[in-house]
Amino acid sequence: MLVDRRYEAALVLAEVGIRLFAGGFE
């Protein structure tokens, strides 16, 4: 489903963003 793919993509982008954000402070 298109919605499921969008939701999954959003979760992946959020995880990557959090890792980069946290990595910038470490």
What pLDDT, on the 0 to 100 scale, is given for residue 1? 66
Domain borders along the chain are 1-26
pLDDT tens readout for residues 1-26: 678 999 999 999 999 999 999 988 76
Whether the pTM exceeds 0.75: the reply is no
Structure tokens, 7: 């939701």
Q: CA 4 → CA 9, 11, 17, 20, 22, distances in Å?
A: 8, 11, 20, 24, 27
